[in-house]
Chain A
Amino acid sequence: MLGADAPLAVVLLAMIALGLFLRVYHLGVPAALKWDEHHYVETARSYLHHQYAWNDHPPLSKLIIAAFMWALGDGPVVWRLPSLLFGLIDIALVAALAGRLFASRRAAFIAAAFVAADGFFIAYSRTALLDGMIVGFALAAMLCVLSGRTVWHALAAGVCVGCATSFKLNGLVFVAAATAACLCSRSLRRWTPVLLLAAALVFYAQCAVALINVGRSGSILSVIHENREMVRHHLSYTVVHPYSSHWYTWFLPLKPIFLRRDVGADGSVHALLALGNPILWWAATAAVITAAVVVIRTGPRRVWQQLTEGAGPAPAIAGAAPDNQAGMFFWVLAAWAGPIVFWIPSLRDSFIYHYMPSYAFALPLLAGFVDRLYGRWRIPTLIAIVLVAEATIIYAPLWGELSISEAAMRARLFPGWR
């Protein structure tokens, strides 16, 4: 995509380059643990020393961090390296999903730039936290079921949703979404048990490995006991954290979280704010509504027909909508809604980062619609994309932990965000 699209390509490449820079810049600073990193790094250390540690989430992420620490040593860059790698993979996966949904390389390129230049994804690539990892496996699982026709796709999807659930139990929503997509697809339906079995095996295996590593039994009963205690802990959790927020506030958002906010001796602030690019954030919700309208206008009969057909052939004309686009939108919308619906009946306090997987499924939709707008109104759409890039530059100090004055930081924040 060059020639007439060269100016767009330059802007998108600049956004990706900036996003990569903000992900890796001073990754090892601070050398101390920030936000909730202590939950995961301390547990990973315990695993390295074969000591039992209480888990409030399944152990897979801690096992991954422990494996990195075992291979590369115990240091701040190493703790955050898995998150960085998943952050990079997330860029590629969102791009692949956008490319699949809209059969457009340009849509994929736009999606990659959007994820790369988004502060939510940048912040979670810079911290030893789990949510960016869940996003990666959820995206990979849905890509498998939306593109797949064989047992291997069902197996891969099962492994991915099993991993997503093995980071946090709210990954279960992706087991449900992938299973439903698999059941509906005529070509994948018979492999649904493979998907479920793979997910269950992955979940069991990572729990068992963690238990055996600390000298305990890795039997099914032990794994069930461990997880029952974990669920009980979450259900009895009554503390309301000042940073917690209700699910219906996430679309604005009302309460982004400072993962770090340090004032140096020189008076400069180094902050890490888990806040999406505001333009993308609001536009992503509009894209979800647009996709829902497409599904509704397509009608239930045709959508059901597309759902049962599963992965359709690539369209003959490049950039044309795939034959089963409304059906794919349906599943992407399901994957978007799942993490939100999970928190609607929950009494436990929720946080804006629980919205991260939903946001990851909204961005490919946004990128595809922007791609279509670009095809129709090139200059206005290019201006809009440039504005997204400018918004990233405005918030870059708060996403890349660059030096900034307190006044300049506060000038970037709406009153409720401070």
Chain B
Amino acid sequence: MSADRRAWIVVALGALGAVALWNWRGTWNKPGATMEAAITLVTSDREDLSCGLDQAIGSLRCPYQTSGAPATPPVDRRDRLAPYMTVSRQMLLVPALFDQPAIAARYQQEPPAGVPRQQLRRFVAHCRLRLIDTVDSLMVRWVPSATWSPASNAWVAQPTDCRVEN
């Protein structure tokens, strides 16, 4: 085999290796992917947590705009996004999380009505979520009496299955 041909074979093999190495970057969450998340909750979160965002993600929306004004028209409860934090401090915007049977059952065990928030027992919901899109910046509010605060980098995700760890 001529030296020229051997040199070209080296280049071709190098190119093949380059393609494989270029793609060796691991996997991370992408739209359409499913992720597992451990979400930290108290039962009053169902009513307390709220977000402000001007854009809609499909039919999903925050109940407020970033200015703090209510979204118009009002968002259907099943499409209403709310901010939740995972135990690793990642923010997720999830619609109707408390409609998940396990979380709804946990809610029934400890209704928050009339109980100060700090006396409610915190629990963790292990949920499987289908990732829809990311939101770069939004406003969040953790209790209705609090002021809005800016937040960034949140995934909008649809819960598909949850179990509760007490």
Interface residues of A (CB under 8 A from B): 4, 7-8, 10-11, 14, 264-269, 378-379, 382-383, 386, 389-390, 393-394, 396-397, 402-409
Instruction: Find out whether the CB atom of B14 lies under 8 angstroms from the CB atom of A11.
Output: yes
For the complex formed, measure the closest distance between the CB of A120 and the CB atoms of chain B, giving whole angstroms. Answer: 20
Query: Which of A4, A10, A11, A408 contacts B26, CB < 8 Å?
Result: A408
Residues of B within 8 A of A264 (CB): 28, 134, 153
Instruction: Find out whether the CB atom of A265 lies under 8 angstroms from the CB atom of B21.
Output: no
Query: Which of B7, B24, B27, B35 contacts A7, CB < 8 Å?
Result: B7
A264, B6: Cα distance in complex, Å: 44
7 A-B pairs within 8 Å (CB atoms) are namely A265-B90, A268-B28, A268-B29, A390-B14, A390-B18, A402-B25, A405-B28
A405, B25: Cα distance in complex, Å: 6
Interface residues of B (CB under 8 A from A): 3-4, 6-8, 10-11, 13-14, 17-18, 21-22, 24-30, 35, 90-91, 131, 134-135, 153-155
16 further contact pairs, Cβ within 8 A, besides A267-B28, A403-B28: A8-B7, A11-B11, A264-B28, A264-B134, A266-B29, A268-B29, A379-B6, A379-B10, A383-B10, A386-B10, A386-B13, A386-B17, A389-B18, A390-B21, A393-B18, A406-B26
Instruction: Find out whether the CB atom of B6 lies under 8 angstroms from the CB atom of A4.
Output: no
Contact A265 B134, CB 8 Å, known A404-B25, A405-B25, A408-B25: yes
Contact A10 B11, CB 8 Å, known A389-B18, A394-B21, A396-B22: yes
Closest to B27 in A: A405
Instruction: Find out whether the CB atom of B28 lies under 8 angstroms from the CB atom of A266.
Output: yes
Closest to B29 in A: A266
Instruction: Find out whether the CB atom of B4 lies under 8 angstroms from the CB atom of A4.
Output: yes
What secondary structure prevails in chain B residues at the interface with A? mixed
Residues of A within 8 A of B24 (CB): 394, 408
Instruction: Find out whether the CB atom of A404 lies under 8 angstroms from the CB atom of B26.
Output: yes
For the complex formed, measure the closest distance between the CB of B87 and the CB atoms of chain A, giving whole angstroms. Answer: 14
Closest to B19 in A: A393
Instruction: Find out whether the CB atom of A386 lies under 8 angstroms from the CB atom of B27.
Output: no
A47, B10: Cα distance in complex, Å: 53
Contact A382 B7, CB 8 Å, known A266-B134, A393-B21, A408-B24: yes
A378, B6: Cα distance in complex, Å: 10
Contact A378 B7, CB 8 Å, known A265-B91, A266-B29, A397-B25: yes
For the complex formed, measure the closest distance between the CB of B11 and the CB atoms of chain A, giving whole angstroms. Answer: 5
For the complex formed, measure the closest distance between the CB of A138 and the CB atoms of chain B, giving whole angstroms. Answer: 32
Instruction: Find out whether the CB atom of B26 lies under 8 angstroms from the CB atom of A7.
Output: no
Residues of B within 8 A of A379 (CB): 3, 6-7, 10
Closest to B92 in A: A265
A379, B14: Cα distance in complex, Å: 13
A361, B14: Cα distance in complex, Å: 28
Residues of A within 8 A of B27 (CB): 405
Instruction: Find out whether the CB atom of B10 lies under 8 angstroms from the CB atom of A7.
Output: yes
